[in-house]
Structures are given as structure tokens and as C-alpha cells.
Amino acid sequence: MKRTTTMLTAVALATAAGGVSAEEMTIVSWGGAYSKSQLKAYHEPYSEKTGVTILNDDSSAEAVAKLRAMNEAGNITWDVVDVVAADAIRLCDEGLAMEIDPDTQLAPAPDGTSASEDFGDLLVSECFIPQIVYSTTFGYRTDMVGDNPPTDICAVFDLETYPGKRSLEKRPINNMEWALLCDGVAKDEVYDVLATDEGQDRALKKLDTIKDSVVWWSAGADTPQLLADGEVVMGSTYNGRLFSVIEEQKQPVAMLWDAQVFDLDGWIIPAGLSEERKQRALDYIMFATDTQRLADQAKYISYGPARASSAPLVGKHAELGIDMAPHMPTDPENAKNTFLYNYEFWADYRDDIDAKFQAWLAQ
């Protein structure tokens, strides 16, 4: 049996494109509509090109904790991991993600523009390869708000006008910012306030006003399902998930774009991989973050591609045939009042505020 396995491995190595092993690799992401968009835009064409079998793992929400544990155990089982920018910064700072040189390890734009110039300011960490600009925002049931649809983020805290359950993510990020905004803190002062114990307590006190009416979610697919089932009147999630429930599933749901929180999502490669696995991961990253592939993802979900050269290639939805541009968080009509997520703040404060938030949840 051992000899047979060795021979099969040798055959797999011989049939790989570019010398990269045509075996299995585990790619970690967020599940639901987002993983489907990656499957269509990246995984299927890469597997067809190379023969590599891609195993999907929907553990991105726990990526930092799990990579810490894997590192401690000396057993890294993931090959490429999709994380938000703040988590990439933390993983890079802790030596759990490998550094990437964009101009030698990522593809240039079709016109020869270097990857570092094409991605520009979105390269917020030496270990992070951006895929998308997305936002966390709110959807609401159009049939549950009567003739008075919400237009302001603070509707989330207005139980009198909008009675019923709302869904919020089971973590402090975004919730704390929205709470302070709706408690009268100016947008440009939110992170200064949140950096203090008093500011954190103030945010939690505001969240206390709706705590009994909140369904807490952990996976991006949760709020769309809760909205589709009519179990919540409104809820936060990623704009692409709401696009799916509105345009693909045709549910009675609409978007509340006010104070949408812009963020970046992208790839890291875990530190500590064998040379063979590292080269395979780099080959995948080179492929999956080129100009055309990032534009292709926007055919399946309404997130803006991170490369400047990809934006002109965004067209219609691959299955619905509708123009995708008006559904992007960056569309001028949708971006009238955005909130810019502070990656550095959350990289520095995440662990402490997480602990305080989870203690508050348990009260």
C-alpha cells in the first residue's frame, strides 16, 4: 500500500502545471454565496488548469485562533486562508502568515503595471493579498417595516418604530462603531473614543438597549437566512450576501446602505508550510489574484475587485444578466455615508475588546 501511494504521488507531481503538485490543497473561506463566487471564479478554473483538488473549509471567522493553535501544535493543515485585513495584520505581526512580494509573487496587470501599483493602498500588510472591497451593512424585510422603511443606521436601535428581532454579528467589530455613532459620537472621533475603557463601556451601554432583541450570528449566511425566514426585521451582514438574498432569491428584503463599513478581504498563506505546499499555494495565489480572475468574481457577487485594472472588466452577473455596478458598495449612490474601518485599531485592540464583549454577552 505504501509503495502504491508513493507511485500515485509521483504521478500527481509529474502531471502538475509549472511543477506544482497536483494533489489536494485546503482553502479556507467564509462559506455561502461568497465561497460559491470563489469556486466559480478561482477554484474550478485553477483545478482544471492544474489537476489540484481544492478542499473548502468555511472557518475564516475563527482563522486567527485556529492558526495560533495549529502553529502551537506544529501541524499546519491549511494552505491558503481568506481573512479580513485586520486579521491579516495580526497574523503577520505574530509570524503566522508569510510575507509576499507583490512584484515577484503576484501577476502584473495586463498592460504591465506592477501588482504593487495595481493594488496600491489596499496592500495594508506585507502578508496580505487583497481580493475585494466589501461592506458590512444592513438588510431589512420590506414587508415588516410598513410605509416607513429605514434610511438611517440608528433605526437598528429604534425598537419603537421598528419592533422585532434584529441580527448582529457575535463580535465587537462594527457593532461598537455603530453604537457610538448612534450615541452621538462624531464619525471622525469614533476610534479615539473606542480606544478608552469609558468609550468601550459607552458602546456596550448603547448595545444594552437592544440586547434582548438581538439574534447573534457567526456565519455570513446566517442573516440572509434569518431575513428570508422572517425571523428578524433587520440584520447586519456582508453586502454580497444581501445581494444574493435580494436579487437571486427574490426575497422581500432591501438594503440599508447608511454607515456601511468598508473593509478589505483577501488571502494569506500560513507560515510553516513545507516547500512543496508553499510553492503550490503561491501558484494558486498568482492565478487567483490576477486582473481577470478578480473581475470574474464580481460576476457572481457584488464586491468590488481590489485591483484597479479589474474594475473596467466588471460587467453583468453571470447568471442573472443584470449590471453589477449599481450593486457595489463603492457605487456613488450607495456610498453617500460610509464608515471606514480602521484596520490598525482592531489589530491592536481586538483581543482586549473581544474579551470584554464576550463577557458582556454572557451577562
pLDDT tens-place string over residues 89-111? 999 999 999 999 999 999 999 99
114 by DSSP, 3-state: which? Answer: coil
pLDDT tens by residue, 206-250: 999 999 999 999 988 899 999 999 999 999 999 988 998 999 899
Confidence at residue 46, expressed as pLDDT on a 0 to 100 scale = 97
Model-wide pTM > 0.75? no
pLDDT tens by residue, 111-170: 999 999 999 988 999 999 999 988 999 999 999 998 999 999 999 999 999 999 999 999
- CA-based angle 336:339:344, to the nearest 5? 150
CA torsion, points 311, 132, 227, 209, in degrees to nearest 10?
A: -120
Confidence at residue 14, expressed as pLDDT on a 0 to 100 scale = 31
Cell of 350: 481586538
The more confidently predicted of residues 271 and 344 is 271
| CB 203, CB 106: distance < 8 Å | no
CA distances from 201 to 134, 195, 308 (A): 28, 11, 40
If you compute the radius of gyration of the chain from its CA atoms, what whole number of angstroms results? 21
Rounded to whole angstroms, the Cα distance separating 217 from 171 reads: 9
Could you tell me how far CA 343 lies from the centroid of its own chain?
13
- In this predicted structure, the answer to whether residue 21 has a pLDDT above a threshold of 80 is no
- In this predicted structure, the answer to whether residue 13 has a pLDDT above a threshold of 70 is no
| CB 29, CB 134: distance < 8 Å | no
* Candidate ranges 181-190, 237-246, 331-340; pick with highest mean pLDDT: 181-190
Those residues whose C-beta lies under 8 Å from the C-beta of residue 82, and which sit 6 or more positions away, are 27, 28, 29, 30, 38, 60, 63, 131, 265, 266, 267
- In this predicted structure, the answer to whether residue 177 has a pLDDT above a threshold of 90 is yes
| CB 292, CB 29: distance < 8 Å | no
